[in-house]
Structure 1
Amino acid sequence: MKINHLTSAEETLMRLFWKLESFYLKDIMEQHPEPKPHQNTVSTYLKILVEKGYLSTEKEGRIFKYNVLVPLKDYRNFLLKELLHHFFNNSGKEILQSLILENLIFEEDLKDFNLTIEIPPAKSKEPHFEYVNEILNPKKDKKKDKNKKKKKKKD
């Protein structure tokens, strides 16, 4: 099954649909948080999501019952693979390294997976105070700049 990208509005509705799994249009209108979209807007999105293969329909009398075809887990895996492909050169190691460096995952989290990874301490660069030095010692810096300019003119 090929999974297609969702717009942010479609994704927002799908989050609600994943919770409901099977629903009618009236269920969505009742469950949707404020501000509620117009029923025609939701109906249009339902049609689009059916076309994209995320939902299926069953006609029950005069109304349609919708069922989720793409589970949340499959969509998350699709997005993760896209992220790996486009930003991390298909490298799980690179994404894990990024998560660690950004403090989004910690050594304790990795212990749950029985992984033995040593995380090196973060290297901090010494701050460069060029602007502060310029403010504190304005005359010295100006003299140096003048001398540099004179040397350049002589050359």
Structure 2
Amino acid sequence: MENLTKAEEKAMKILWSLERGLIRDVVNGYNDPKPAYTTVATIIKILEKKGFLGRRPIANTNEYYPLIKEEDYTKKYMRSFVKRYFSDSFKSMVSAFGTDEELSTEDMEDLIEHFKNQIERKKSE
């Protein structure tokens, strides 16, 4: 699975939320100023070629739908991100964000609680 460009990711996010739709539905999902219909149509064709979207003919148009779940793409993207920027170490990534001044004490406590729950879940499996 390839990484998406920012433009492709935006179109996919709209289609993931719609579950299926026409190009005009995707255009309507953008904030103002909306991109041109032809621009979105080009992005949709690229996404279809990359295997992210399927299509179903309806009259003289096509309805598009995601072939890849948003959660699956997000996990793959995050793994790639950690590999590129944190030497494939989730620990290094969490540590980097933990030392970031914008991460509040409450956020860190929530993360600790989350990891404690995950440890307990894994131990019970």
Q: TM-score, with normalisation over the residues of structure 1?
A: 0.66
Alignment partners' CA distance in 2, 1:107 and 1:29:
40
Please report how far the alpha carbon of residue 42 of structure 1 lies from its aligned counterpart in structure 2 after TM superposition.
0.9
Q: Which runs of 5+ in 1 are unaligned?
A: 116-155
Alignment partners' CA distance in 1, 2:97 and 2:31:
32
- In the superposition, relative to structure 1, how do residues 14 and 111 fare at CA in structure 2: closer, same or farther (>3 Å)? same
The runs of at least 4 consecutive aligned structure 1 residues that moved more than 2 Å come to 29-32
Alignment partners' CA distance in 2, 1:18 and 1:102:
31
Give the counterpart letter for 1:36 in structure 2.
K
Higher relative contact order (CA 8 A, sep 6+): 2
Please report how far the alpha carbon of residue 106 of structure 1 lies from its aligned counterpart in structure 2 after TM superposition.
0.5
* Per-residue Cα deviation, 1:53-77 (whole angstroms, up to 9, x for no partner): 1111111221101011111111111
Structure with greater Cα Rg: 1
- 2:54 aligned to 23, 31, 56, which one? 56
Is 1:112 matched with 2:110?
no
Give percent identity, aligned residues only: 28
More helix per residue? 2
Alignment partners' CA distance in 2, 1:30 and 1:111:
40
Alignment partners' CA distance in 2, 1:7 and 1:114:
35
Task: Please show how residues 1-155 of structure 1 align to structure 2 within 5 Å.
Answer: 3-103=1-101, 104=103, 105-114=107-116
Alignment partners' CA distance in 1, 2:61 and 2:48:
15
Alignment partners' CA distance in 2, 1:34 and 1:112:
37
Q: Which runs of 5+ in 2 are unaligned?
A: 118-125
Alignment partners' CA distance in 2, 1:7 and 1:38:
18
